[in-house]
Structure 1
């Protein structure tokens, strides 16, 4: 039974602190090639400028810019082609080539004509024109990837360019346990039978597995545990041996059939149960054998919201934009509301409500968090939207 609701901020602080204490020992050093889509466990500082030499940004000729002043089609300037460039000389270069130390510009080949070791130039270039300067891309000491940032193919390119061969990532495994007599495994699901028996597919486990994979972690679905406390306890103990974290879905609300909280209390302890958010109020966090168990709702939307607020947002920060609201939104003081929205020139709250309306998750591409001290927002008000 939920005796007292915890505020969202207090719950977030408790959950994140607990995750912090655990994941610091779950860091793995991996080769760059294995780091794609993983979450970085370290801040990486550039160990050198990039580029670390001045290089040609175009195909053409490296020159001393002052030698080209006044050049035009009616008044070409002639330079001698040479590998050792000084005043009156030029060197042929291709994009990415280092340019000689005493040159300061590259003239594009389209504005030149080469003949018999000489180069006719028809255009003036200025110092640093068509040159990628030392440190133009990255300066030594710049942060090139933050802790808790997803590693993209572009990070891989940047890190490799600086001869960084390895990176620290969070290496975690999540076990997923669904509870409830009303559930049917997807493998055995048949719509006619489901309609006749009034059962529902265990779709939450697949959603949660996909969300875990999207974070770059490993997941394992343990199937369905019927409404039997002892069976649930045995499954939790099995999953704890094989995973770092456990996620349960279902069995967190008030009621005799909701046994997850009771089972965890008998195995360990409940850190919190019940958060003043909508949807997702019956979220809980337990601890058994020094491992965390996230208690998520059996309702798909509530489960997705709980995962977003208390797991995803610990590891990765959502990008956000500030846009005008297209219609007014009401909220209740003391509660944080998670509002699903569509984003275009403004923010359109999705009118579908409820903790089990799956289409609202498919249709939304962002969300608003209405703080507990705000009774809502007026149409036209600028609001922060987190992008999914």
Structure 2
């Protein structure tokens, strides 16, 4: 039997406490860094802009030459190639400000007749002028270490002439599917007792979506030496996920192998579905042992593997995507277990699909999200407003 069932939140906290974030960086072109985490502060090496520039289309002037200009009393200036008393130069947005000019009159506040320019508004010094370093000053820290890069951040780096940046390496996650009943997805027909391997594929896709690099292994049979060999040969990974073999049956060897090879932190969690989940650490590498039943497996991935991967990858915490809905029917749950009830959303209603049936994978595909019922509550009633955590 399970040595001790542990509270789901305590299990997550215990597991998080043994995880050491990846610290080694890799140098990448900035165009490939969307969503990545910068490993060092990014410091501006130049001013932006690095020259005084016009901030509007119009005429560069000496502000003092526009004194008294108004809608009924324009000042007349002469358009030329340089700015001095009584003259102006046509400029475009982003143009260098000509020597002698200290302001720009917008083109809509002027009327041009040949070389004469009527100015209908008074401007003050630096009006419509972009100063050197107005956007970014040389030596300024523009992005702190640990920032998750967005397209706008990458554009700022491009404006500084930065071509490459050091970002934290994505965590490598080895995924080991186990089970005598599993067969590769390419097999054309199934015998009785055989099923296609799906958990490893699902885990690999989620790991990639969540910011890791998956390494999906071939199916490993329920053989302790082979499972142990698969673990040992993949300790170069930053995290290991093992699917199947976590319960208390005759062929459920995985928790014992983790315990004999490293440290078994948890075996048996107050989470439904997902009670047989086991968590451990081997050679400082976190190990998530997800149940073989696919719904229990996806709950284990969401509750344990996702936050572990985020910490490994130096990724900032992000809240779940949640929508509010009203329960169309009651949901039963078991005291002492955090229950993940699958629901479908329709016109503001949360329609329960299942709370049990850990092997019914299609119930997750049909669902829009989970209603997570706390351990101290025995079910929810129809008509209650609930949070629905959307399934990615």
Query: Normalising by the residue count of structure 2, what TM-score does the alignment of the two structures yield?
Result: 0.75
Matched, 1:260 2:254: yes
Report the equivalent of 1:298: 292
Q: Which runs of 5+ in 2 are unaligned?
A: none
Report the equivalent of 1:182: 181
Q: Is contact 2:38-2:165 (8 Å) kept?
A: no
Report the equivalent of 1:222: 217
For 1:88 and 1:347, locate their aligned partners in 2 and report how far apart those are by CA, in whole Å. 72
- SS of the residue 1:298 aligns to: coil
255-264 or 366-375: bigger deviation = 366-375
Matched, 1:16 2:19: no
Task: Note the 1:252-291 alignment, pairs <5 A.
Answer: 252-291=246-285
Q: Is contact 2:341-2:353 (8 Å) kept?
A: no
Paired residues, what number? 377
For 1:342 and 1:163, locate their aligned partners in 2 and report how far apart those are by CA, in whole Å. 49
For 1:382 and 1:135, locate their aligned partners in 2 and report how far apart those are by CA, in whole Å. 50
Report the equivalent of 2:158: 160
221-230 or 374-383: bigger deviation = 374-383
11-20 or 42-51: bigger deviation = 42-51
Task: Note the 1:230-245 alignment, pairs <5 A.
Answer: 230-240=225-235, 242-245=236-239
CA RMSD, 1 decimal: 4.3
Q: Give the deviation of 1:5 after TM superposition.
A: 1.8
- SS of the residue 2:217 aligns to: strand
Q: Give the deviation of 1:119 after TM superposition.
A: 3.8
For 2:347 and 2:128, locate their aligned partners in 1 and report how far apart those are by CA, in whole Å. 38
Question: Which structure: greater helix fraction?
Answer: 1
Q: Is contact 1:183-1:199 (8 Å) kept?
A: yes
Q: Which of the two has higher C-alpha Rg?
A: 2
For 1:62 and 1:345, locate their aligned partners in 2 and report how far apart those are by CA, in whole Å. 59
For 1:137 and 1:343, locate their aligned partners in 2 and report how far apart those are by CA, in whole Å. 46
- SS of the residue 1:256 aligns to: coil
Q: Give the deviation of 1:320 after TM superposition.
A: 4.7
Q: Give the deviation of 1:201 after TM superposition.
A: 1.4
Task: Note the 1:100-139 alignment, pairs <5 A.
Answer: 103=102, 107=106, 109=107, 114=112, 116-120=114-118
Q: Which runs of 5+ in 1 are unaligned?
A: none
253-262 or 364-373: bigger deviation = 364-373
118-127 or 209-218: bigger deviation = 118-127
Task: Note the 1:46-125 alignment, pairs <5 A.
Answer: 47=44, 51-52=48-49, 59-61=57-59, 67=66, 78-81=76-79, 90-97=88-95, 103=102, 107=106, 109=107, 114=112, 116-120=114-118
